[in-house]
Amino acid sequence: MNIKDIVNRDIVNLTNCESEPIHIPGTIQPHGFLIGIKKQDYLIDYCSANSTDFIGLKPEQLLGQHFTDIFQDVQIAQLSAHITDSYIDSPKPFVTTRNGIPFNTTAHLSGETFLLELEPFPNGALDLPNLYDQTRRFVSAMEKNNTLVELCQEIAHETREITGYDRVMIYRFDKQYNGEVIAESKRADLESFAGQKYPHTDIPAQARELYIRNPLRMIADINYTPVPLLTTDSNEEKSNQSLDLSLSILRSVSPIHIEYLQNMGVGATLTVSLLQDNKLWGLIACHHYSPKILPHYQRLAALLQGNFLTSQIKVREVAEEFKISEQVDKALFDSLSLLHEDENFVENHYNSASLLQLANASGVVIYQEGKLYTNGLVPAQETLLPFLGQLRYLYKNGSGHTEQLLSIYPEGRELTKFAAGIIYHAMSASSSDCILWMRQERIETVHWAGNPEKAIDMNAGGFRLSPRKSFELWKEVVKDKSAEWRKSELNAASSFAYALQKYLNLRQVRLEEERYRIINEELKAANKELANINWISTHDLKEPLRKIQIFASKVLDREDPELSLKVKDSVERMRYAAEKMQLLIEDILNYSKTGSVPKVFESTDLNEVFQSVISDLKDTIEEKKAEILHDILPEIPAIRFQIQQLFVNLISNSLKFAQDGVSPVISITYEIVGPKMLPGNSSLKNVDYHKISFTDNGIGFDQEYRERIFQVFQRLHPHHKYPGTGIGLAICKKIVENHNGILIANAKENEGAVFTIFLPVQLTAAK
C-alpha cells in the first residue's frame, strides 16, 4: 500500500506570512484523531498518523477500509443524517464507539470528504452541563449591568468559572482590527492585560476569516507535535490542497502563532468568536499556563457564553449610541427652532451653544457672502480663510468628514490644535459659502502589549518573520487626531447643514423677490408714463402736425405771386418735415404695439394674408412692374394682424429697394424643416419649423449688416433716395419673436436679399 502524508511544508516568511494557508496545514493536534471517508462509498480515504494511540489500529489498517468495518456499532444512516455542510459542533455530539470506548465525534463535509474528528471523553462524562443555571446567571448579569463593558466583565468571570482557564479576556476590535482587552478575569498572581491593545498583525486576515467560519478554537498544548494526515492515493495532485480543515476542531495551528503564544508563556488556549453583521467584532480568549484539554460540553458552555454576549452587543451599542443621539437630537431641534424663528439666524445666533452641541464639536464656522461667523475654539481668520478654500477643493461633492485632518490636508498641522477632526458641508456649488464643525486634537496614550511592530530576525537562513518576544507594556502617544465622529453626530450635522442651505436659499429668494418687486413697481410707473406719451403721440402731436400740413398745402396751393421762391421752398420743407414726423410717430406706435398687445393666437391661413397684402400694395406693384411668385403657404396659429404687418413690411421692403431699371421679382417659398436646420444660436430646437423665405433681386446689402438692419432707426441707404423711418424691419423681428420664431437676413450687394422666417409647427411652442 502506497501511503503518503499531506503535510504543508511551505516556509512562512516575510513575503507570505499575510497569506499563509492556515486552513490546509495537513496536520492536526494530537489530543484526538481524524478519519476522512469518501462521501460516495464511505471508504476511509484519510486518517491521522496517531490512530494507533486511540483505537489500536495503524493507518495502513484503516486506509481503504469501509468505515463500518472498523466501527461496527455505527449506523451509516445515522451518521449521514448527522453530517451537514455547515456543521461544526452540536449540543449533543455524535458518539462513535470502538471496543466499548465512546469517542466524541465532530463531523462535517470538506469537499467530497466526510471528516470525522474523534476525541475521547477526558472525564468519561456524557451528560450535558446545567444550561438552565448558566442561562439564569447570564440573564441576571444582563439585568444588573448597564453598559456593554460591564456585561463583558461579567461574561469574562462566568466563562472562567465554567472553563477553569487561568485567564479569560474579551477583545474588541477597532476598524483596523487592532484588538483591545476591554474585560478580564484572571488568576490573582497574574499580571493584568486589561486596557492593553494588540496590533492587527497579531491576527492576520486569513485567521480572522477562519474565526468567522469556525467560532470555537482550542489548542490543548502549545508545545504539541503536529500529527500528519495520511492517504493512500499515489496521484501527485492529491496534496494538502485536497483537504480543507477550516471547520476542523483538531486543525493544527500556524507555527508563527505557536511561537507567539510560547513567547507569551501560554500553555493552552480556547477562543470563542464574537460576530456582528457577519464581521468579527471581538473574541473571548482563554489562556492557561499549562496544557489543558477542555471537555466537549464545557467547550459548548463557553461557546454559549459567546452566543449570549453576541446577542447583547448590538443592543448595548445601540443603547449607548441612543443616549448620545438623544442629546444630539435635542441640540439639533433647538438649532432648527432658532433657524426657523429668526430671519437673520446666521447674524444673530451663529454663537449659540446648541450649534456646537448638535455635533459635540469644540468649534463651528459659518462662511457666508465673504463673512466669517465663528463659535467656540477656532483657528485665526488668516489661517481659516485659505483652509476653507482648500476644503471646497478637497470635498468636490460638497461634504465630508475626517478624524485626522492631516490625512487629507498635510499642510494643516498648525490647525490640528483646533481642527484635528472636521465635518464640512458646502452651502453653494457656485461660491465658498459653507459650515464647518471642528474638534480639537485628542492626545491619547495607547498601551500596547509589547511593541506592535513585528520583529525581523537574521539567522543563517537569512531574514525570517519572528513573533514579538516581549509583551511588556509599550506606550504610544497618538497625536493629530480627534475623537471619532459618531453616526448620530454626522447625521445631525448633515440635517442642520441641509436646513441652513434651504434657509439661506429662501432668504436669497425673498431678497430677490423684493428687488424684483421694486423693479416691477418702477417698470409700472415707467410704462404708465410711456402710455401717456403714446396718448400724447396719438392725439396731441398728430393733430398739430395735421394742421401744419393743411396750412402749408393751402399756402402752396394759392400760388400767391407775392410769395418768393425762397418762401415757397421753406413752406414745402415744413410740409415734408411734418409728413415725415407723422410717419415716424405711426411707426413708433406700431413698434410699441407689437410688444404690448395681448398674444391671442388663432388659426391663420397665410395664403389669405398674402392675397390681402397684394391687394393693399396693388398700386405700388403695378407702378414698379413687379412680379411676385409664391408657394402654397400653410395655415398656422398666429396673431393675424401682426402676421399681415410682417408680410406688408417684407414685401414693401423688397419693392422699395429695387434696382434702377430692373423690374422687381419677389419669390416667396415654403417648406417644413427639422430643428437641425435652424440657425446655430437658436434655443428652440425641439420641434419642426415652418420655413418661409422672401427672396428679391434688389440692391441687397453687405453681409456685415445682417444683424444691424433689425435694430431700431438703423438705415443703410440715403434717406432722400429710399425714404423711411428705419423701424420697419425692427417691427418684423419683434413680430416673429412674438411667435417664438426666428428671422434672419442674407444678401449680396446689387444681387438681392433673402429674409427667412422660422416659425414652430407646434402651437405649444408659441405660448
Q: What is the mean pLDDT of residues 525-534?
A: 66
| Least trusted range by pLDDT, from 87-91, 375-379, 505-509 | 87-91
Superfamily (CATH) of domain 131-220+251-321: GAF domain (3.30.450.40)
- Whether the pLDDT of residue 135 is over 60: the answer is yes
The pTM assigned to this predicted structure is 0.58
Grid coordinates in use for 517? 418687486
Confidence of residue 764 (pLDDT cuts 50, 70, 90): very low
- Whether the pLDDT of residue 707 is over 70: the answer is yes
Task: For residue 605, count CB atoms less than 10 angstroms from its CB and return exposed for 0-12, middle for 13-18, buried for 19 or more.
Answer: middle
Query: Is the model more confident about 84 or about 257?
Result: 257
3-state secondary structure of 180: strand
CATH of the structural domain 4-120, one choice from 3.90.600.10, 3.40.50.720, 3.30.450.20, 3.30.70.100: 3.30.450.20
DSSP character at residue 18: G
- Whether the pLDDT of residue 10 is over 80: the answer is no
How does pLDDT run across 719-737, given as a tens digit for each residue? 445 555 567 788 888 888 8
Q: Are strands 363-368 and 434-439 parallel, antiparallel or unpaired?
A: antiparallel
Q: What residue spans define the domains of the chain?
A: 4-120, 131-220+251-321, 362-482, 489-596, 598-766
Alpha-carbon span 195 to 179, nearest angstrom:
10
DSSP character at residue 43: B
- Whether the pLDDT of residue 332 is over 60: the answer is yes
DSSP character at residue 544: H
Of these ranges, 9-23, 482-496, 507-521, the one predicted with the greatest mean pLDDT is 482-496
Residue of 419, 435, 437 lying closest to 498 (CA atoms): 435
How does pLDDT run across 337-380, given as a tens digit for each residue? 988 888 788 889 889 999 999 999 999 999 988 899 999 999 88
| Least trusted range by pLDDT, from 398-402, 443-447, 759-763 | 443-447
Q: Which amino acid appears at position 208 of this protein?
A: R
- pLDDT at position 765 is 38
Query: Is the model more confident about 687 or about 180?
Result: 180
Residue 33 phi/psi, 5° resolution? Answer: -135, 160
In DSSP terms, 630 is beta-bridged to 668
Grid coordinates in use for 389? 478654500
Q: What is the mean pLDDT of residues 709-728?
A: 60
- pLDDT at position 480 is 73
Q: What is the mean pLDDT of residues 462-484?
A: 57
How far apart, in Å, are the Cα atoms of 412 and each of 98, 183, 371, 391, 405?
72, 38, 22, 11, 7
Residue 763 phi/psi, 5° resolution? Answer: -65, -35
- Compute how many other C-beta atoms are within 10 angstroms of the C-beta atom of residue 414: 12
Question: What is the length of the chain?
Answer: 767
- pLDDT at position 366 is 93
Q: How far is CA 145 from its chain centroid?
A: 40
How does pLDDT run across 588-607, given as a tens digit for each residue? 666 555 555 567 788 999 99
- Whether the pLDDT of residue 697 is over 70: the answer is yes
Grid coordinates in use for 682? 437658436
Q: What is the CATH number of domain 362-482?
A: 3.30.450.270
- pLDDT at position 714 is 55
Q: Residue 117 contacts by C-beta under 8 Å, 6 or more apart in sequence?
A: 28, 32, 33, 34, 105, 106, 107, 248, 249, 250
Grid coordinates in use for 327? 442629546
Residue of 601, 603, 665 lying closest to 634 (CA atoms): 603
Handedness of CA 332, 338, 339, 344 (dihedral sign): negative
Query: Is the model more confident about 309 or about 557?
Result: 309
Alpha-carbon span 76 to 61, nearest angstrom:
20
Q: Are strands 752-760 and 742-748 parallel, antiparallel or unpaired?
A: antiparallel
Determine contact, residues 213/275, Cβ cutoff 8 Å. Answer: no
Confidence of residue 536 (pLDDT cuts 50, 70, 90): low
Same topology for domains 131-220+251-321 and 362-482, yes or no? yes
Q: Residue 557 contacts by C-beta under 8 Å, 6 or more apart in sequence?
A: none
Confidence of residue 628 (pLDDT cuts 50, 70, 90): very high
DSSP character at residue 371: E
Grid coordinates in use for 335? 438649532
- Whether the pLDDT of residue 561 is over 80: the answer is no
Q: Which amino acid appears at position 521 of this protein?
A: E
When the pLDDT of each residue in the chain is averaged and rounded to a whole number, the result is: 80
Determine contact, residues 618/589, Cβ cutoff 8 Å. Answer: no
Confidence of residue 763 (pLDDT cuts 50, 70, 90): low
Grid coordinates in use for 226? 503536529
Alpha-carbon span 274 to 305, nearest angstrom:
10
Query: Cell match 465622529: residue?
Result: 485
Q: Are strands 421-426 and 627-630 parallel, antiparallel or unpaired?
A: unpaired
Alpha-carbon span 347 to 337, nearest angstrom:
15
Is CATH 3.30.2230.10 the classification given to domain 598-766? Answer: no
Q: What is the mean pLDDT of residues 237-245?
A: 70
Q: Residue 571 contacts by C-beta under 8 Å, 6 or more apart in sequence?
A: 552, 555, 556
| Crossing angle of helices 148-163 and 296-341, rounded to 10° | 180
Query: Is the model more confident about 88 or about 305?
Result: 305
In DSSP terms, 423 is beta-bridged to 401, 437
Grid coordinates in use for 77? 444512516
Confidence of residue 703 (pLDDT cuts 50, 70, 90): confident
Residue of 172, 168, 169, 177 lying closest to 452 (CA atoms): 177
Q: Residue 286 contacts by C-beta under 8 Å, 6 or more apart in sequence?
A: 159, 160, 163, 165, 167, 168, 169, 269, 270, 271, 272, 302
- Whether the pLDDT of residue 469 is over 60: the answer is no
- pLDDT at position 356 is 92
Q: What is the mean pLDDT of residues 542-551?
A: 69
- Compute how many other C-beta atoms are within 10 angstroms of the C-beta atom of residue 154: 20
Q: What is the mean pLDDT of residues 88-98?
A: 66
